[in-house]
Amino acid sequence: MVGDARKLRLLVGKVGLDGHDRGAKIIARAFRDAGFEVIYTGLHQTPEQVVATAIQEDVDAVSLSILSGAHNYLFPRVIELLRERGGEDIAVFGGGIVPDEDIPGLLATGVKAVFTPGASTESVVEWVRAHIPLRALG
């Protein structure tokens, strides 16, 4: 978009029963400090709630934080719902406690990247800058 000064809009989502949101709040702060607009869903969101918010807020990407072990269901479910709601161009990435052996399967479902414990906020911000484009607003 020529001449568009719009900031990248990211939704940081906490889906499922996981009640730990420190990491999500840290990454949301890092995204804000990097100059991105950030919408944080709060705890205990369903995939349907996250997708509804992503569509309503016209975000460029959804970043999921999952520590509950339900990543093999929750990441693909969010992608599936985005496709159903016309948001297939909204990128999905995230992090949390995800075993290395599960990452290739998640990437195959359309997850753009998975960051595991030890990833620095700087590396995540740099990845977003390099891989998440501004979407055309509908």
User: What is the spatial distance between Cα 78 and Cα 137, in angstroms, rounded to a whole number?
Assistant: 20
64 falls within a domain? yes
CATH value at residue 85: 3.40.50.280
List phi, psi (to 5°) of 65. Answer: -110, 115
| Per-position pLDDT tens, the chain of length 138 | 444 568 999 999 999 887 888 999 999 999 999 999 999 999 999 999 999 999 999 999 999 999 999 999 999 999 999 999 999 999 999 999 999 999 999 999 999 999 999 999 999 999 999 999 998 875
138 falls within a domain? no
73 falls within a domain? yes
Give the tens place of pLDDT for each residue, 33-71.
999 999 999 999 999 999 999 999 999 999 999 999 999
DSSP class of 63: E
35 falls within a domain? yes
The per-residue pLDDT for 138 is: 58
How many C-alpha atoms does 112 have within 13 Å on its Cβ side? 19
Pairing mode, strands 61-66 and 91-96: parallel
1 falls within a domain? no
User: What is the spatial distance between Cα 24 and Cα 16, in angstroms, rounded to a whole number?
Assistant: 14
Task: Please give the tally of structural domains in the chain.
Answer: 1
2 falls within a domain? no
Task: Please give the residue range of the domain that contains residue 67.
Answer: 9-131
Helix/strand/coil for 13: strand
The amino acid occupying position 77 is R
